[in-house]
Copies of this chain bind each other. A is one copy, B any other.
């Protein structure tokens, strides 16, 4: 394997897996491409194409084996050892993210949170210890944290990203409205709520 998968396929694989886990807990062990498609409101062709790209093949007339497919997707998007994640900034958004994750069985473990407000630090949130930002670089290095979620206000985001980069982070998910600049070896995903809301507004206006 290790053919390069399209970005969008990777996104959908994550969604397929979630849907498949649901299916499984409903006691269903086989599923057709069009059933997956319905769950995600996309087309069956797209599902089959994605599954083709990851090299799995179903059986005619029976569809895909749910367990197998979950495993294959896991092999592709998870690492064996798991990856450690830190959340920077535990305002409402930071806490929402930690809440989303708690209980989810995944190879992504949120192992630390950081905040610059001493009132918030040295406590546990959703099972995750929150440290003062001063210790961020040190802890990230020592713990081998590879992924960071930035949920600080825009004005601090840039500095945080710099520090994270220096501490050797490998991937950043940025929720702040401030576009970041990181070296090419750091994977960056921007996630801008305000833009998305304005986009919805634009298309509503058009329609």
Contact = CB atoms under 8 A, between A and B. Distances in A.
Interface of A: 2, 4, 7, 10-11, 14-15, 18, 39-41, 76-79, 83, 85, 91-93, 95-97, 99-101, 104, 106-108, 146-147, 149, 170-173, 177, 179-181, 185, 187, 189, 191-207
A174 to B, nearest CB: 10
A7 B41 CA distance: 19
Contacts of A39: 179
A52 to B, nearest CB: 18
B41 A76 contact: no
A70 to B, nearest CB: 13
A108 B201 contact: yes
A205 B147 CA distance: 10
A184 to B, nearest CB: 9
Nearest to A83: B201
A95 to B, nearest CB: 4
A191 to B, nearest CB: 6
Given A40-B179, A104-B194, A147-B201, 9 more contacts: A18-B177, A93-B93, A96-B96, A100-B194, A170-B204, A171-B201, A171-B204, A187-B200, A191-B196
Contact of A92 (B15, B96, B171): B96
A195 B185 CA distance: 21
A178 to B, nearest CB: 9
Given A15-B192, A93-B93, A95-B92, A197 B10 contact: no
Contacts of A99: 91-92
A195 B14 contact: yes
A201 B100 CA distance: 16
Contacts of A191: 191, 193, 196
Nearest to A2: B206
Nearest to A192: B15
A147 B11 contact: no
Given A77-B198, A197-B108, A203-B187, A181 B14 contact: no
